[in-house]
């Protein structure tokens, strides 16, 4: 399996191919994307895995009062302290949801750990820590693995009608982690998650295909396909990426703006092979308006595999 280069959207490889939900666009039902940001804190690192993201309806009388799952596949480790400034993690990309008013958004987090400025590591019980990381203490996340961590929604709720929306969530590390009261020496997470904005979005979508007559190589132990390309849409405020489906289609939920269309040119594979791709979008820029789709197709003109030494 290849590993995507992370020149934009830090941690995109850990995230967001398997945690995107349905991103095919169209249909008329509202679609929701959720981006995770962080306010700077005083920890060296703060890592979480998000197991589930779900919405809850506003009242028992609401037709969508039941749970609506937006993410059901656990993400990889996300370093919250890197998600500052223009960096963010896209937890949910263009997921279709029933129209209605939702009073709750929750993140289920079962594994987390923090690294203090002095190098101490406090981790939740049973967390599968990365190689070379050893817990020196315990981190507790009350309700994190059961009912989930509650996100404060603007105005107490969000109404989704027939348009796509992007919800930005701030995971405030500076207020969310601290020593447990008493002399236990443990750390505890009382998370402060706030949805800072809801903006109606449009989409950029299209196809990725090799040029006529181009034979794509084998790399990383399998044949290269259009799905190996990562389209990028870049504006002064956002840097967005997309995962290409097996059939060569992709879709990006984007806030209204003008985006420069690009792509990731190099990729590495777990066996040490590296792939260099040359491609071109059908138009250099895409202007997105709320509720509309802009089509940008990519043509791969060259692809070269460098085998591992």
How high is the pLDDT of residue 4? Answer: 32
pLDDT digits (tens, 9 = 90+) for 24-46: 333 457 778 888 988 767 899 99
Helix (H/G/I), strand (E/B), else coil: 156: helix
CA 92, chain centre distance (Å):
6
Tokens of 107: 């993140």
Domain residue spans in the chain?
2-200, 203-306
How high is the pLDDT of residue 255? Answer: 80
Contacts of 61 (CB under 8 A, 6+ apart): none
Which pLDDT band, with edges at 50, 70 and 90, does 14 fall under? very low
CATH superfamily of 203-306: Carboxypeptidase-like, regulatory domain (2.60.40.1120)
DSSP letter for each residue of 280-308? EESSSEEEE-TT-EEE--EEEEEEEEE--
> Percent of the chain having pLDDT more than 90?
49
Cα–Cα dist 213/202, whole Å = 34
Cα–Cα dist 50/77, whole Å = 8
pTM (predicted TM-score) = 0.64
pLDDT digits (tens, 9 = 90+) for 67-99: 889 999 999 999 999 888 767 888 988 788 888
Longest dimension (CA), the chain: 70
DSSP letter for each residue of 58-75? SSTTSTT-SEEEEE-S--
Cα–Cα dist 44/212, whole Å = 50
Would you say residue 208 has pLDDT above 70? yes
Would you say residue 6 has pLDDT above 50? no
- What residue ranges in 190-273 does DSSP mark as E strands? 193-210, 218-219, 222-223, 231-234, 239-241, 249-254, 257-263, 266-269
Cα–Cα dist 230/243, whole Å = 6
Helix (H/G/I), strand (E/B), else coil: 115: strand
């Amino acid at each position: 399996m290849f590993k995507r280069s992370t020149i934009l959207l830090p941690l995109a490889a850990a995230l967001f191919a398997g945690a995107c939900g349905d991103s095919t666009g169209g249909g008329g039902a509202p679609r929701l994307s959720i981006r995770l940001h962080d306010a700077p804190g005083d920890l060296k690192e703060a890592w979480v895995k998000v197991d589930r993201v779900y919405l809850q309806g506003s009242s028992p009388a609401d037709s969508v009062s039941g749970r609506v799952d937006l993410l059901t596949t656990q993400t990889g480790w996300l370093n919250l302290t890197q998600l500052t400034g223009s960096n963010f993690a896209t937890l949910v990309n263009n997921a279709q949801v029933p129209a209605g008013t939702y009073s709750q958004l929750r993140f289920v987090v079962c594994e987390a750990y923090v690294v203090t400025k002095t190098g101490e590591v406090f981790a939740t019980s049973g967390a599968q820590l990365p190689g070379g990381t050893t817990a020196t203490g315990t981190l507790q996340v009350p309700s994190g693995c059961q009912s989930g961590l509650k996100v404060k929604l603007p105005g107490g709720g969000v109404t989704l009608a027939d348009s796509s929306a992007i919800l930005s969530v701030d995971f405030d590390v500076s207020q969310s982690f601290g020593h447990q009261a008493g002399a236990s020496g443990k750390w505890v997470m009382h998370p402060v998650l706030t949805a800072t904005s809801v903006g109606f979005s449009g989409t950029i979508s299209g196809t990725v295909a090799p040029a006529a007559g181009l034979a794509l190589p084998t790399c990383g132990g399998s044949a290269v396909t259009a799905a190996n390309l990562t389209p990028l849409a870049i504006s002064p405020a956002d840097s967005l990426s997309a995962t290409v489906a097996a059939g060569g289609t992709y879709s990006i939920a984007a806030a209204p703006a003008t985006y420069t269309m690009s792509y990731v040119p190099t990729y590495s594979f777990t066996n040490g092979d590296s792939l260099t791709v040359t491609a071109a979008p059908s138009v250099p820029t895409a202007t997105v308006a709320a509720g509309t789709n802009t089509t940008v197709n990519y043509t791969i003109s060259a692809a070269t595999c460098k085998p591992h030494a």
